[in-house]
Structure 1
Amino acid sequence: MSQDLLPKPLPYHLMEQIRREIIAGRHAAGAPLREQALQIEYGCSRAPIREALRLLERRGLVTHEPRHGFRVREVSATEVRQIYEVRALLEKQVVLGLLGRVTPELIAELHATNATMRAHRAAGDVERYIEANIAFHAVLRAHAPNEPLGRALDVVYEMAEPIRHALLHRSLRTSQAAEQHDDIISLLEADRVVEAAEEMYRHVFTGMPVALGTVAHPEGSNG
């Protein structure tokens, strides 16, 4: 049997379930994650629930205070800015890693994932749009392998995931990410990699104003 088909240990399975619910907004920022309620919901003992919450804490989605328990991490406006700043620098570095590595295969893969993004945007499918967006950036990483850089980006992506979902639930129809990706692809196609890296840096920052709005004015507010 392939290792990918083996069942995950229960704490990891629970972590993925709770993670999806946090990202989808079922557990709001700052909301308590009560172990007893999760036990009842998932029909298991407290130990794997607690381990799942500890795993989420390490991934930056959950916080823990002694005697107060676990809560969904609240992200401040300052932290939103910091996440965007770090991600912009890292994504720029990914593109710089393509110097001397731009191939027709890379360009074709980027066009294909970007077309998928457009299709999901037209269908109003936030989840699949995000998946395609992540796939676009994954193609760049795959053509310029850099394990430390990739690990750093994985952490930033995880912290940004609830923000990204909140943002796109507000603004999917008006998202211009695919068009901005077109500009990056065109620069890479012309082998203007340094300029493409600068364009990537700007591209990451374009979502920050709306992301800050999701912190200042949570869903459902009229502000």
Structure 2
Amino acid sequence: MNAIRIAQPALYEEVAERLRQRIFSHELPPGTWIDEQALAEDYGISRTPLREALKVLASEGLVTLKPRRGCYVTELSGGDIQEIFPIIAMLEGRCAFEATQKATPADVARLQAIQDILEKAAATGNIPAYFEANQNFHLTLWEIAGNRWLLQVIQDLRKVLKLTRYQSLSVDGRLKKSMEEHRELLAAITAKDPDLAEKVMKSHLIAGSEAMAKATSR
């Protein structure tokens, strides 16, 4: 019997993931010009796999390729935010609906554990910790919903929104309000009320978009 070889990830995919994480962490903040020669030298690769990696990131909306000017980390405008958030609110609202229908007591306990982390982060004003726990809360909801089609579209949009990391939470009063919205959402899930969970999730994300619009206009 012939052994089945497991294909190694293509080099450009590894490079794309490294750059993706640098963009998400804002080591490469929005608007940054991508110095292809310097990056190729840093990674010890030719510019061919680097350019393939940048094409992947461009398809995800994380970088923008500008003719005769090069490649830049994408900057989201107020208009972009207003277009993206109603879509993601609709999708994640549906996700909350399905997750509430399917959630077991063990699932609710998982969400409550994350909620406890959110509460502590909010109480101390620790925005990075709150951001990470918030991401984990939403990810757990997606897993509970178990709808791979919803998950795929939401994840694509969420990648772009990571370009605005922390911005909405930096608006005065938003951290406290976000915490209150999470409490309402968890209460709806615990009560097995999918319609309310969907409504709260949509309102939560629209409120986040309004805060983000304020942050980007400052």
TM-score band, normalised by shorter chain:
0.7 to 0.9
User: Structure 2 CA distance, aligned partners of 1:12 and 1:22?
Assistant: 15
User: Structure 2 CA distance, aligned partners of 1:122 and 1:14?
Assistant: 38
- Asked whether the equivalents of residues 37 and 47 of structure 2 are also in contact (C-alpha less than 8 Å), the reply is yes
> Bigger shift: 173-182 or 108-117?
173-182
Q: Report what 1:18 is aligned to.
A: 19
- Asked whether the equivalents of residues 96 and 197 of structure 2 are also in contact (C-alpha less than 8 Å), the reply is yes
Per-residue CA distance 1:174-222 (angstroms, 9 max, x = gap)? 51333321111112222222012101111111222331133223xxxxx
- Asked whether the equivalents of residues 168 and 174 of structure 2 are also in contact (C-alpha less than 8 Å), the reply is no
2:146 paired with 1:145: yes
Normalised by the size of structure 2, how large is the TM-score? 0.84
Q: Report what 2:4 is aligned to.
A: none
How far the C-alpha of 1:122 sits from its partner, in A, is 5.0
User: Structure 1 CA distance, aligned partners of 2:182 and 2:156?
Assistant: 22
How far the C-alpha of 1:89 sits from its partner, in A, is 0.5
Cα distance change of structure 1 residues 130 and 77 upon mapping to structure 2, 3 Å threshold? same
Q: Report what 2:102 is aligned to.
A: 101
User: Structure 2 CA distance, aligned partners of 1:66 and 1:16?
Assistant: 24
Q: SS of the residue aligned with 2:27? A: coil
> Bigger shift: 204-213 or 124-133?
124-133
Cα distance change of structure 1 residues 102 and 172 upon mapping to structure 2, 3 Å threshold? farther
Amino acid at match of 2:217: A
Q: SS of the residue aligned with 2:158? A: helix
> Bigger shift: 47-56 or 115-124?
115-124
> Bigger shift: 63-72 or 124-133?
124-133
How far the C-alpha of 1:126 sits from its partner, in A, is 4.3
Counting aligned pairs with the same residue, the percent is: 28
The aligned runs of 1:1-223 (5 Å cut-off) are 8-98=9-99, 100-121=101-122, 126-168=127-169, 170-171=170-171, 175-176=175-176, 177-217=178-218
Q: SS of the residue aligned with 1:33? A: coil
User: Structure 2 CA distance, aligned partners of 1:13 and 1:213?
Assistant: 36
User: Structure 2 CA distance, aligned partners of 1:10 and 1:125?
Assistant: 37
Normalised by the size of structure 1, how large is the TM-score? 0.83
Q: Report what 1:220 is aligned to.
A: none
Amino acid at match of 2:192: D
User: Structure 1 CA distance, aligned partners of 2:49 and 2:138?
Assistant: 33
Per-residue CA distance 1:143-164 (angstroms, 9 max, x = gap)? 2211111111001100100113
User: Structure 2 CA distance, aligned partners of 1:109 and 1:99?
Assistant: 13
Amino acid at match of 2:71: F
Cα distance change of structure 1 residues 179 and 131 upon mapping to structure 2, 3 Å threshold? same
User: Structure 2 CA distance, aligned partners of 1:21 and 1:123?
Assistant: 27
Q: Give the length in aligned residue pairs.
A: 211
Q: SS of the residue aligned with 2:45? A: coil
Q: Which runs of 5+ in 2 are unaligned?
A: 1-6
User: Structure 1 CA distance, aligned partners of 2:157 and 2:41?
Assistant: 32
Structural RMSD (CA) = 2.5
User: Structure 2 CA distance, aligned partners of 1:166 and 1:20?
Assistant: 18
